[in-house]
Amino acid sequence: MVGLASPAEAATSVTATYTKTQDWGTGFGANWTIKNTGTTTISSWNLEWDYPSGTKVTSAWDATVTNSGDHWTAKNVGWNGTLAPGASVSFGYNGTGSGAPSGCKINGASCDGTQQPGDNPPSAPGTPAASNVTDTSVRLSWGAATDDKGVKNYDVLRDGTKVTTTTALNYTDQGLTPGTDYSYTVVARDTADQTGPSAGPVAVRTTGGGGGQPVPNAVKLGYFTNWGVYGRNYHVKNIVTSGSASKITHINYAFGNVQGGKCTIGDAYADYDKAYTADQSVDGVADTWDQPLRGNFNQLRKLKKAYPNIKVLWSFGGWTWSGGFGQAVQNPAAFAQSCYDLVEDPRWADVFDGIDLDWEYPNACGLTCDTSGAASFKNMMQAMRAKFGA
């Protein structure tokens, strides 16, 4: 009898590759590329390596880089931690010295994906459910995750920040603020300390705080760029997992274009056609091929369902697409009508609560120059107000 061993399966589903991009004698530039080579989405990455004495990182971008002596650690920033299967992201830095990195580990395993054969990361736990919500606390419970070597514990994250690690399938979070929105996710950790994909998010609003309504004393607005879903791999779900969704009041969705005197779609694929898988979606439900609306617009719709206090405005123009404003303001009423028709298109009218006009710059130069006259901006805004109402 001959026994045939099955091929070893690498536990880690992530690899890291180092490249020196520049060398100017007294210093160098370098980058690392992190790639998800597995079959499940990862929610964060942690890279470690050693430099010989005298070689060090002096400045870095797109990662948080720290060191303890000659041991260096790089962790993802808010927008580039989530990687779908096959996706990759890079970060870079400048350094001094002539040494090369050694002892590379990514998420605790070898950077080439060969360490810990047969040990896979755990699955996502069940989506957490909230109960017993009070002014200052909430009880969370979730279904167990699975793992080939066993689940050790669970991390509970509030607005993207870990609040506890527990072996139980429930946790009561306390010390919260009355009348405040929070977002919770849960990740499992196995006996090798590997974390799997996150479960959630679940939105919770504590009771109290003036009848449960937020105090309208400030606008907290952020831009969400449609082009961010490509190279930066930042999606609407990241607004939740980063903790931003519970803090902001308004989103400017950027950008729509201004062409031929009209408001037009900026990126049809990203805006309303891109299909999202369950793990990429705000509510954990995958898009289907025949649904009437997909892409960022559908994800924003789901975000607003979970966070009804958030208002979304469609932003037109920007540095690249302001060149069309000059023609548009030759007929402000027609321009306002075109913008209204697009924003209020029945396919996505419920997604948008208003319009933002980012003209760079009236009667001045940005990427292009404008000479439409001193009254052009005022006339445009009056026409918009007349069409969109108070």
Instruction: Supply the residues annotated as catalytic.
Output: 360
341 touches 281 (CB < 8 A): no
Rounded distance, CA 388 to CA 390, Å? 7
Contact present, 332 and 340 (Cβ < 8 Å)? no
Exposure class string for 353-388: b at 16+ Cβ within 10 A, else e: eebbbbbbbbeeebeeebebeeebbebbeebbeebe
Tell me the one-letter amino acid at 377: F
Rounded Cα–Cα distance for residues 224 and 245 (Å) = 12
Quick one: CA dihedral 58, 59, 62, 65, positive or negative?
Answer: positive
